[in-house]
Chains A and B, each alone.
Chain A
């Protein structure tokens, strides 16, 4: 065995130890943080872990294609909490190069408070009635402080950042905000947000949405991100959209659409009055087919609307729909179009009236 082989074997042994440790249903956020530390230490660690996981991948296909088996009945749960403190220690063969201050033993001590943690989560869940939750993530001092905001389906929220920037979140949306001395970066993880940016020449305002970076040049605009497309609509001022090495400038009254997997960004004119009307609880449609309207409306409600026949899909609609109340919205649609709605199996079915 030469030195390199010994090194490789050593790292492999660590990788296997971590694999076994992380495979435990008892591994908590603290353990995952330590594991992340180890992965970050060296690319060789990641390589080794890849090898461990891939060598077992034959099993992944037929037998383990489901979520980890963390389901337990209540009777066992009581015991599990006890077991953690007593039994978890010997499992963690200490990987060789973990610094002392990240000792696995410490995380074992942390495990003695699972119940309290659980109670806290239940409390947090209760707050969800308010539709918006804010969490600070200061766990990792090496990272800039990131603040996360989210809305549920049907929720909306207005946020004012420390610099005076206003952000409106539409339904089912998630963003994170990282403010540093040199930049203001928002990541739109999903959904739609409207930005009214406070000018600050020293700190550019950047919105990252999937593979596109939007840089603001003092303006207000909306960004809507779905699995298939990214849409940016500018109400005032100018933004630059950057994907790869291509930059597209979008100005007031323009809408830019970037389809996923396509490098082009298509520009078209748009009435600024029609941008982000959801902020006022309404959507405006002009000569739009129900087939395109329904998916748009369904973004706002848990109870999904579907239609039974093609005749309904082909109907066109022009007008304003109230998205703050689903029954009211359906009432307007029934009054303005030859359709009726029925509730069925937790869904709403639209069909022709005649």
Chain B
């Protein structure tokens, strides 16, 4: 029974490996770390439970790679901030933009606080954009499902999400006097 989900994904992984590596190199700006993350992708797809049905297997792998790369970036940033906290104290970087990544004795509490701040920020967003954002980001709904359940096109879902992200980022950068 060779056509298992894992075999298919492994085959796609091997076919896409150079493209995945190229993406990770560009995303992480470092070949060595890219190789590490790629290795993590491989381990994850060979060792962990996979969803029973994966439409678009190559997209699945790229998103897995993208998520693992982000984990890597966040970990690196946290470590760097820990090491250089003193030097950043008065610089722009200590601004709210990276606040989430500053290490703290109670990371979970910080995450909760950030989430609450985000929720507050979302209150000033148009209801449709807020709903689309929450469905996709909080409930993990795919774009198609968001579109179907809200009775809008996938393109409109994308527009709502873009608007929501800009709204959130504007709040983060507010004290930096952009424009």
Binding site for B on A (CB under 8 A): 1, 5, 8-9, 12-13, 16-17, 19-29, 31-33, 35-36, 39-40, 43, 46, 49-64, 66-74, 76-77, 79-80, 83, 87-93, 114, 121-122, 124-129, 133, 135, 137, 139-140, 143, 146, 148, 150, 174, 176, 187, 189-190, 210-211
Residue contact B179 to A125, C-beta cutoff 8 Å: no
Pick the contact of A148: B14, B59, B165 (CB < 8 A).
B14
The 6 residue pairs across chains A and B that have the minimum distance between CB atoms? A90-B155, A58-B114, A91-B158, A137-B18, A39-B26, A71-B51
**What per-residue 1/0 map shows which CB atoms of B149-175 lie under 8 Å from chain A?**
000011111110110011011001000
Residue contact B56 to A121, C-beta cutoff 8 Å: no
Residue contact A67 to B60, C-beta cutoff 8 Å: yes
Pick the contact of B55: A16, A61, A80, A92 (CB < 8 A).
A80
Chain B contacts for A72, CB-based, 8 A: 53, 55, 142, 144
A269–B124 CA distance with the chains assembled, in angstroms: 70
A248 CB, min distance to chain B CBs, angstroms: 19
Chain A contacts for B98, CB-based, 8 A: 54
**B79 interfacial contact with A, CB 8 Å:** no
Pick the contact of B140: A64, A80, A122, A146 (CB < 8 A).
A64
A49–B29 CA distance with the chains assembled, in angstroms: 13
Pick the contact of A135: B15, B53, B58, B74 (CB < 8 A).
B15
Pick the contact of A190: B39, B62, B155, B169 (CB < 8 A).
B39
Least CB separation from B62: chain A residue: A32
Residue contact B101 to A57, C-beta cutoff 8 Å: yes
Residue contact A174 to B19, C-beta cutoff 8 Å: no
Pick the contact of A68: B53, B60, B108 (CB < 8 A).
B60
Residue contact A63 to B138, C-beta cutoff 8 Å: yes
Chain A contacts for B35, CB-based, 8 A: 187, 189, 210
A5 CB, min distance to chain B CBs, angstroms: 6
Residue contact B162 to A16, C-beta cutoff 8 Å: yes
In this complex, the interface size class of chain B, counting residues with CB under 8 Å from chain A, is: 35 or more
**B125 interfacial contact with A, CB 8 Å:** no
Residue contact B57 to A55, C-beta cutoff 8 Å: no
**Given contacts A55-B97, A121-B57, A133-B14, A24 and B62 within 8 Å (CB-CB):** no
**Given contacts A16-B165, A67-B64, A28 and B56 within 8 Å (CB-CB):** yes
Pick the contact of A121: B8, B118, B169 (CB < 8 A).
B8
Residue contact B15 to A46, C-beta cutoff 8 Å: no
Residue contact A174 to B11, C-beta cutoff 8 Å: no
**B130 interfacial contact with A, CB 8 Å:** no
Binding site for A on B (CB under 8 A): 2-4, 7-8, 10-12, 14-19, 22-23, 26-27, 29, 32, 35-36, 38-39, 42, 51-60, 62-64, 66-67, 70, 73-74, 77, 97-98, 100-101, 108, 111-112, 114-115, 117-118, 136-145, 147, 153-159, 161-162, 165-166, 168-169, 172, 178-179
Instruction: Name, among A26, A56, A146, the residue most crowded by chain B CB atoms within 10 Å (CB to CB).
Output: A56
Chain B contacts for A50, CB-based, 8 A: 73
A85 CB, min distance to chain B CBs, angstroms: 12
Chain B contacts for A148, CB-based, 8 A: 14, 17-18
A56–B122 CA distance with the chains assembled, in angstroms: 12
Pick the contact of A26: B8, B59, B137, B168 (CB < 8 A).
B59
A27–B65 CA distance with the chains assembled, in angstroms: 14
Chain A contacts for B51, CB-based, 8 A: 67, 70-71
A125–B147 CA distance with the chains assembled, in angstroms: 33
Least CB separation from A76: chain B residue: B144
Residue contact B27 to A91, C-beta cutoff 8 Å: no
**Given contacts A21-B158, A51-B169, A58-B100, A90 and B153 within 8 Å (CB-CB):** yes
Chain A contacts for B172, CB-based, 8 A: 55
Instruction: Return 27 A-B CB contacts under 8 Å, by A number.
Output: A1-B179, A12-B169, A13-B166, A20-B161, A22-B63, A25-B142, A25-B143, A27-B59, A28-B58, A31-B59, A32-B23, A52-B165, A52-B169, A54-B73, A54-B100, A54-B101, A59-B138, A61-B108, A64-B140, A66-B140, A69-B142, A71-B53, A91-B154, A125-B2, A125-B7, A126-B2, A189-B39
Chain A contacts for B32, CB-based, 8 A: 210-211
A28 CB, min distance to chain B CBs, angstroms: 5
A1–B179 CA distance with the chains assembled, in angstroms: 5
Least CB separation from B29: chain A residue: A46
A209 CB, min distance to chain B CBs, angstroms: 10
Residue contact B141 to A69, C-beta cutoff 8 Å: yes
**Given contacts A54-B101, A133-B14, A25 and B59 within 8 Å (CB-CB):** yes
Residue contact B70 to A53, C-beta cutoff 8 Å: yes
Q: Can you add 9 more A-B contacts, CB < 8 Å, to A70-B142, A80-B144?
A: A24-B142, A31-B59, A52-B169, A58-B100, A59-B138, A61-B115, A62-B111, A189-B35, A210-B35
B169 CB, min distance to chain A CBs, angstroms: 5
A95–B174 CA distance with the chains assembled, in angstroms: 24
Chain B contacts for A58, CB-based, 8 A: 100, 111, 114-115, 117-118
